[in-house]
A and B are shown apart, each in its own frame.
Chain A
Amino acid sequence: MKRFTTGVFAMMFALLLSASAFAAKQKVIGVSLLTRQHQFYKDMESALQSSAKKNNIKLIVQSGEFDLSTQMPQLESFIVQKVDAIVVCPTNSKGIGPAVKKANKAGIPVFTADIAFEGEGVVAHIASNNVLGGNDAGEYMAKLLKGKGKVIIIEHPTVKSATDRVKGFENTLKKYPGIKIVGKVSSDGQRDKAMTAMENMLQAHPDLTGVFAINDDSALGALRAIEVAKKKGIVIVGYDATEEAQKAIMRGSALKADVIQYPKKIGEKTIEAIVKFWKGQKPPKFVPVEVGIVDKPWLDKVHKLIKK
């Protein structure tokens, strides 16, 4: 008898659930971000929300906070809730594999934003085009050096987005035979390591004229080393345009320019790709989002506008 009652209740509950799902008819996207702490992700999340609202989509947003064991249950809960699409910014480029497989089995399309998944089963990846960002940095460097000089790269060889930036930078500099890349050092994206590496590079190449750094912690570490050594005639091009880096550019330091990503555009294009997919169109495997260059003239203009 007892079992029968629970069975009835369960059926009623299930009916209720499916009824409410029918009644709403609103599509649902489950989003698992890398983090909610960084400004970059805050901007991306707000764009995801506003684009979803425009398209009458419900968003469930969670964050893996750099931890695969936090992110996996989030993805699994999306699958259980039978969402209409999943957006994930993997905390581990390979680690989310089992969840992607499970989602595919359940017929839920998976999209990645900002950080790619290394494996099969993702409909589309929406992210800044890091190779293009590297190209832009290279062009700007060539302009700063007037086509002549010795340059080092502060790299992070174990991270794909960073190696793409380096690839783009190197490819562009091939057009300028007067500029020679004399060294590549790793900072692991960290400021203290970048500073130490820069000090050592100043010893190895006293006639250095340019530095390309794959992120702003590296750029600011290099800047600190150059300023402490009171070296003149070296320019730095960084990546990300964080607030601290923008300040350094504004005060006329050796950091001359930064590649900037547009997280809001990544968010908008992600929703756009999903909506297209629902309508039966197949988005390309990689949806590139443009990047830009931030330098002192640009920042001066922006600040003037704000003051007005």
Chain B
Amino acid sequence: MARLIKLLQNYGIVAGFIIFCVYLSIATQGKFSKAENLLDVANQISINAIIATGMTFVILTAGIDLSVGSILGFAGVVAALMLKKHGVAACFLAGVGIGAFLGAFNGTVITKLKISPFITTLAMMTMARGFAWLTAPEGYISDFPQKFLNIAEGSLAFSIPNLAVFMLLVVALAHLLLTKTAFGRHVYSTGGNEEATYLSGVNVHRVKLFVYMISGLLAGLSGVLLAARLGSGDPKSGEMYELNAIASVVLGGTSLMGGVGSVLGTFFGAIVIGVLNNGLLLLNVSTYHQWIIKGVVILFAVLLDQMKKR
């Protein structure tokens, strides 16, 4: 019995998720499990998964990044402008560059000026949104060349959508960075015990600077990818994305206190949110009920996770 409970605590979320998927396949008469639909879901979760991957680094150091949605919006419109003037390569460079720069700005303010991550990134959230509107005051930039749109429409291999390929690459690289490098170990130890990490000779400030830069960079990349997906750069885009990203990280078992968690867990969290979104729509659940169900799922998942750790 005790073993059963232990098993349930360890794999409860995964088991619940699998049961939900089986239920969805039956309840939607196979519409859910059709390859076409699953590939759609892969496409839909890509952007959130990429942002959430960056967020995982930040949360592992016991920080938070509320500015990712706004950085995405700003990077997206700048990328759209660059695309129309200088082509696809410049567009990617600009989007990713702006993201990384604003992320590094966050990191610098947090480490040098000792302002809390919550406040710093909250300020960046409103500033980047303002810059986005200044860049595209008409509200949108569209009429992109097909070559750029193909990034989101096409598929290079096995009919896996390109956005999902980006996501898998980002997740894989981030996983390697966290588990196989000294930097990765420093991220965990900074979040676990900053003082001890500092005393053992690690440049904690640099670690933090890098995690915010990674988060910003991935938000910038997401801005470019979202522009390709929607076929337009829009200063409104990315609103509330930070909350979805944080929910994915937490669903994936990363502790908001830092030091514990993984990118693969976050990836799983993003899948859960995406499948929930897709499944509830396929089941014709009304909007308000969807909100309630999503909230309950997040609470339950985190509760199970905490029980595991106790």
Contact = CB atoms under 8 A, between A and B. Distances in A.
Interface of A: 37-38, 155, 157, 183-186, 190-192, 195-197, 199-201, 203-204, 217, 220-221, 224, 228, 244
Interface in B126-163: 133, 137, 139-140, 142, 152-153
Interface of B: 28, 31-32, 34, 36-37, 40, 43-44, 133, 137, 139-140, 142, 152-153, 226, 229-232, 234, 236-237, 239, 277-278, 281-282, 284, 286-288, 290
B239 A203 contact: no
Given A183-B284, A220-B232, A224-B230, A200 B278 contact: yes
B34 A203 contact: yes
13 contacts: A37-B133, A37-B139, A155-B287, A184-B287, A185-B281, A185-B287, A191-B230, A191-B232, A197-B281, A200-B40, A203-B36, A203-B278, A204-B282
B229 A195 contact: yes
Contacts of B137: 37
A244 B232 CA distance: 10
A205 B237 CA distance: 27
A195 B153 CA distance: 13
Nearest to A230: B153
Given A157-B287, A203-B36, 9 more contacts: A37-B139, A38-B139, A190-B237, A191-B230, A191-B237, A195-B230, A196-B44, A200-B278, A200-B281
B286 A184 contact: yes
Given A244-B140, A244-B142, A203 B37 contact: yes
B282 A203 contact: yes
A37 B236 CA distance: 13
Contact of A204 (B230, B231, B284): B284
A37 B130 CA distance: 13
Nearest to A156: B287
B9 to A, nearest CB: 32
Given A37-B137, A228-B153, A203 B230 contact: no
Nearest to A191: B230
A197 B40 CA distance: 11
A204 B290 CA distance: 16
B226 to A, nearest CB: 6
Query: Which has the most chain B C-beta neighbours within 10 Å: A195, A203, A224?
Result: A203
Nearest to A201: B281
Given A224-B231, A244-B140, A203 B40 contact: yes
Nearest to A194: B230
A123 to B, nearest CB: 33
Contacts of B153: 228
B224 to A, nearest CB: 14
B230 A192 contact: yes
